[in-house]
Structure 1
Amino acid sequence: MMAMLGIFVAVTVFLEVASAASLGVVYTEGGMVSGENIRLGWRRHMDVFRGIPFADIPGRFEKPKRHPGWDGVLKATEYRKRCLQVNLIMTETRGSEDCLYLNIWVPHSGSVSSNLPVMVWIYGGAFLVGGSMGANFLDNYLYSGQEIADRGNVIVVTLGYRVGTLGFLSAGDSSLPGNYGLWDQQAAIAWVNRNIRSFGGDPDNITIFGESAGGASVSFQTLTPHNKGLFKRAISQSGVALCPWAINKNPRRFAEEVALKVNCPTDNKMVACLKMTDAAALTLAGTLSLTSSPDHPLLFNLLLSPVIDGDFLPDDPSKLFHNAAKIDYIAGVNDMDGHIFTSLDVPSINSQLVDTPIEDVKRLLASYTREKGKPGLDNAYSVYTSTWGSNPSRETVKKTVVDIGTDYIFLVPTQAALYHHATNATTGRTYSYLFSQPNRMGGIGRPYPSWVGADHADDLQYVFGKPFTTPLGYWPKHRDVSRYMIAYWTNFAKTGDPNKGDSKVPATWPKFTSTGHQFLEINSKMNANYVGQKLRLRYVHFWTSVLPNLPTVVSE
């Protein structure tokens, strides 16, 4: 009997190995590539390709060019360095100028996959830092596409693009137009469109998605006229092209500051000198100050961002939504996206014991409404304190500070982008969400107060399935949230409708229309009751209608 069992096991293993689905060597426009095939379960395999070049090593302040190709088989088994950037404390650099590579995860169940939907990830990091794999803890990369690919049966691609001075420095004219990082993203999307069929993907069903500066990048990629027909759908998480930090309206001033730091002139010889400057020195010269206060919020330090260059962005983003008319679009924010910023501007909000002075609320509002002077501040203050009563609690004042930051930096611009998308859409569908799973750092004995909701970037761990990858770090409710998000995101990638696909969802997500403004609230408790409409309408109305119509007192 034992012998028979042994033979049965041996035969089963043999059949499983013999049928191990793998693409083997793949032909691309640059040459042949081979990746790594991993076994995920019974008749479930995945091919992982790490570090495939999608463009040549970029020239300084130049658009990316096609890769010249290679001989033999390129072993795509190692992640490549991220693009040259400052470290998190901005004291030195890391990465390389040779950084235009992408990674691909291809799931196979039973047989080799073909015609799968494709999801292309664009990372965030304030256009200053970040990489195609994200943070790495014990070889567990934040942006590993494995869980999304496996659970949603889609191909996942993550890409590198230039950041900081090398990616976004601009003189505001044709001598140094800027937006190099956006061109890199566009080159990667175009490469995927041309080559993904060889990896079992459907070039006619590509979804781009990203968070923060990556979410704004996704938004820019839908608005540029250069992407016609390259992808079908897009998801912006906590960032759109209309965010106040997404466009630098006066890039020349910052370019001159960088030039002076690296001993270059600021006249017509500036760009030639910058091109000759050491890359690391140039990168360090683009560091941003992390010191902030309610009178000078951190947001105003984010100066390395895309510009209206007359090419990638021919006009103000608000006037380019006709280019996204056929693109299905999801955009949303975390309910306390502004916490990470306002806790630096007004540190007392994180103290359980110290009051936040009401004066600090006024100072922060005065900064955000500074162009409109006292009338702007008075209007804003009356809107944000209307529910306070005569004696607001300590928590109420602190939460109001976070709401102000969240609304101004993320939520209101996202609602405006959704409205523009829905109004300009022909075949493109529009969906809005609010992510509200509470932050895991909040509570007794933890760094954040217990009232902190979903902070900026809290959604990433769930979209990338970390509660499944590292189950010991999470509760079952966190796995529920992750399951829901992967289901909505991959259903949307397949069909353009987050409710329809192969994955079951806990609530039907209605379309956002330019009259109804419907949205879905996403968290572990969600059900059909978590559908709402006109998200924070009073505050959206203030920032988009009331404030702009007040006379401008201070020009930028």
Structure 2
Amino acid sequence: MWTRMETVLKTVLTLVSCLGTVSAASLGVVQTEGGSVQGQIVPLGIFRSVDVFKGIPFAAKPGIFEKPKAHPGWSGTLKATKFAKRCLQMTLLQTSTIGSEDCLYLNIWVPHGRQVSSNLPVMVWFYGGAFMVGGSMGPNFLNNYLYSGQEIAGRAGVIVVSVGYRVGTLGFLSTGDSRLPGNYGLWDQHSAIGWVHRNIRAFGGDPENIAIFGESAGGASVNHQMLSPHNKGLLKRAISQSGVALCSWALNRNPLKVAEQVAVKVGCPTDDQMVTCLKSTDAQTLSMATKIHQGTPDHPAVMNLLLSPVVDGDFLPDQPENLFHNAADIDYIAGVNSMDGHLFTSMDIPSLGKKNQSTPVKDVRRLLAAYTKDKGQAGLDLAFAQYTSGWAPDSTPSQEEIKRTAVDIGTDYIFLVSIQTAIKLHAANARSGRTYSYLLSEPSLMAGPGKPYHDWVGSDHADDLQFVFGKPFTTPKAYGDQHRRLSGYMMAYWTNFATTGDPNTGKLEVPVTWPEFTSTKQQFLDINSSMTQDSVRQDMRSRYVLLWTSTLPSLPSYHNTAAN
């Protein structure tokens, strides 16, 4: 009896699935500026589907240290059903390279109901990876494709686009002048934005309603794109997750030194023949020439990230803090994870991440000394006193106090302070553009008994990605109900914002009204799986923002003092 019922049920489900596939609309063959393309239909339910296009070229194969050029096009119909290769880069173990020089491709997810979609808002994704690694072309980790736009597109009725851009030496090496101006990865992103603006209407998108979003180096890239005069009129909105242009690692202030180090590494001279030699060097050799080095408390890893955007007088005509007038009409969300610094600080101080090892206070002082180095002993003493002011006086601090303080220092220095500064600059320069600030405070899935992290660890770096891209829905067994709740919240805020410029208004309901951040009322939303009206808060870590942006800079420079 039960077996027969199972058979009937399976038959009904199969019929429903077929009906959904047949009845839901599809774009079919789409005409782009390079030629016609055809993707795949993925059914989402009855009368709902998404067209997925993989590996559409938005520019030609780039020359080494050259800006991207228009793609020559193709004849016939391009079967856009396979991801292209990611841009050439080191493997995670830094022992070899993966990817291709021919990597300027994008992927598109277009949702449909009974009719073919039209005039949909568009969200363009830039991946992170310290400007050194990363990709959105297929599986990211353990055969798991993190950046699929299917959940976002299907739930919220927006088009999602993910793009490839050059990283590492090929994307960001620069001499700091016209010989090798750099920012090739940023030019790739800009080229993709331009392609989307010109072609997305054919896919049912609104070219006047483009939002860009990204995380870490991708979040900093988003901010750089907003600030560049080259994107004037192309962008409506932007979201930076855990990264802005003002982050210490997001701008190289001494690029010539790095270029000369790379030249020596690959056997090129450092004289006037250096650039000619570098341009004729094999791309794989160049990609292996700059590696990410392990950090220590005295030399934190974030200070070893040597390849990043530069002020080139063209894409970035001035220091980022002086370019926020270019984003005056762009709506902006920027935020930070509550323990964004945990991943990095645990690498700098290995004992921090180990449950069975104690972290000495002196290691926290060493880390802080590295971050305040140019202010000497006075800067270190002042900062240390502020970060330890909550420790119980006249007693030995607990290991949790010591380790959490180290994480707070890393989070503030690497991410939070710069992000808050960017938010304030955007609000101060805004005309029509609205500003929103957030803190993601959901405990890490890696924290707790039997798990690798201490049970007090909050949202670590990159923890936001799984929720923004709906992983708790696509792989439900790996998550709990609270994670699906949080993922639903984040997709709602993000896509509402992309649609209307207001994260509270759009197709999806939100749990709490997220107020605008203004110069006079610096409110932010504390995002987690148990949100209430108390989730709206004010002045994010303001005493520490003041420490890094005002108090420490006002101290005399250690080097100047030593010279006098």
Specify if TM > 0.5: yes
Equivalent runs, 1:522-533 vs 2, <5 Å: 522-533=527-538
What corresponds to 1:408 in structure 2? 413
What corresponds to 2:3 in structure 1? none
Q: Is the 8 A contact 2:104 2:165 kept in 1?
A: yes
Q: 1:33 aligns with which of 20, 34, 37?
A: 37
Change (3 A) 1:161 1:11: closer
What corresponds to 1:212 in structure 2? 216
Q: Does 1:384 align with 2:387?
A: yes
**Equivalent residue letter for 1:328:** D
TM-superposed CA distance for 1:459, in Å, is 0.3
TM-superposed CA distance for 1:16, in Å, is 4.6
TM-superposed CA distance for 1:15, in Å, is 6.1
TM-superposed CA distance for 1:93, in Å, is 0.2
TM-superposed CA distance for 1:356, in Å, is 1.4
Equivalent runs, 1:360-439 vs 2, <5 Å: 360-390=363-393, 391=395, 392-439=397-444
TM-superposed CA distance for 1:540, in Å, is 0.5
- Gap regions ≥5 residues in structure 2: 1-8
Q: Does 1:235 align with 2:239?
A: yes
Q: Does 1:302 align with 2:318?
A: no
CA distance in 2, matches of 1:535, 1:137: 33
Q: Is the 8 A contact 1:133 1:144 kept in 2?
A: no
TM-superposed CA distance for 1:295, in Å, is 0.6
CA distance in 2, matches of 1:439, 1:203: 37
What corresponds to 1:176 in structure 2? 180
- Residue deviations 1:512-542 (CA, integer Å, cap 9, x gap): 0112110001111112111100000110010
Q: Does 1:260 align with 2:264?
A: yes
Change (3 A) 1:353 1:139: closer
Equivalent runs, 1:246-395 vs 2, <5 Å: 246-289=250-293, 291-390=294-393, 391=395, 392-395=397-400
What corresponds to 1:443 in structure 2? 448
TM-superposed CA distance for 1:20, in Å, is 3.0
Q: Is the 8 A contact 2:21 2:49 kept in 1?
A: no
CA distance in 2, matches of 1:500, 1:211: 23
Change (3 A) 1:452 1:138: closer
Change (3 A) 1:395 1:184: same
Q: Is the 8 A contact 1:370 1:554 kept in 2?
A: no
**Equivalent residue letter for 1:113:** S
Q: How many residues align?
A: 551
TM-superposed CA distance for 1:272, in Å, is 0.5
TM-superposed CA distance for 1:348, in Å, is 1.4
Q: Is the 8 A contact 1:329 1:430 kept in 2?
A: yes
Q: 1:474 aligns with which of 471, 476, 479?
A: 479
What corresponds to 1:90 in structure 2? 94
Change (3 A) 1:173 1:11: closer
Q: Is the 8 A contact 1:44 1:110 kept in 2?
A: yes
Q: Is the 8 A contact 1:83 1:131 kept in 2?
A: yes
- Residue deviations 1:410-444 (CA, integer Å, cap 9, x gap): 00000000000000000000000000111111112
What corresponds to 2:56 in structure 1? 52
CA distance in 2, matches of 1:502, 1:81: 34
Change (3 A) 1:67 1:543: same
What corresponds to 1:201 in structure 2? 205
Q: Secondary structure at the match of 1:162?
A: coil
Q: Is the 8 A contact 1:19 1:111 kept in 2?
A: no
Q: Does 1:107 align with 2:97?
A: no
TM-superposed CA distance for 1:263, in Å, is 0.5
CA distance in 2, matches of 1:388, 1:236: 33
Q: Is the 8 A contact 1:123 1:134 kept in 2?
A: no
CA distance in 2, matches of 1:281, 1:42: 51
Query: RMSD between aligned alpha carbons?
Result: 1.8
**Equivalent residue letter for 2:389:** S
CA distance in 1, matches of 2:463, 2:219: 14
CA distance in 1, matches of 2:428, 2:253: 26
CA distance in 2, matches of 1:471, 1:15: 25
- Residue deviations 1:295-340 (CA, integer Å, cap 9, x gap): 1000110010000100010010000000000000000000000001
**Equivalent residue letter for 2:437:** S
**Equivalent residue letter for 1:425:** A
CA distance in 1, matches of 2:380, 2:15: 76
Change (3 A) 1:14 1:417: closer
**Equivalent residue letter for 2:538:** Q
CA distance in 2, matches of 1:9, 1:371: 67
TM-superposed CA distance for 1:9, in Å, is 10
Q: Which moved more, 1:540-549 or 1:355-364?
A: 355-364
TM-superposed CA distance for 1:14, in Å, is 7.7
**Equivalent residue letter for 2:391:** W
TM-superposed CA distance for 1:445, in Å, is 2.0
Q: Is the 8 A contact 1:105 1:146 kept in 2?
A: yes
CA distance in 2, matches of 1:410, 1:354: 26
Q: Report the TM-score, using the length of structure 1 for normalisation.
A: 0.97
**Equivalent residue letter for 2:543:** R
Change (3 A) 1:89 1:554: farther
- Residue deviations 1:50-85 (CA, integer Å, cap 9, x gap): 000000000110000111111110110000000000
TM-superposed CA distance for 1:128, in Å, is 0.3
**Equivalent residue letter for 2:514:** W
Q: Which moved more, 1:239-248 or 1:126-135?
A: 126-135
Q: 2:525 aligns with which of 501, 520, 525?
A: 520
Q: Is the 8 A contact 1:467 1:473 kept in 2?
A: yes
TM-superposed CA distance for 1:240, in Å, is 0.2
Q: 2:81 aligns with which of 50, 53, 77?
A: 77
CA distance in 2, matches of 1:410, 1:370: 18
CA distance in 2, matches of 1:352, 1:125: 27
Q: Does 1:508 align with 2:513?
A: yes
Change (3 A) 1:529 1:172: same
CA distance in 2, matches of 1:467, 1:19: 28
CA distance in 1, matches of 2:17, 2:280: 59
CA distance in 1, matches of 2:18, 2:412: 58
Q: Is the 8 A contact 2:17 2:45 kept in 1?
A: no
What corresponds to 1:538 in structure 2? 543
Change (3 A) 1:104 1:9: closer
Change (3 A) 1:47 1:269: same
Q: Report the TM-score, using the length of structure 2 for normalisation.
A: 0.95
Q: Secondary structure at the match of 1:459?
A: helix
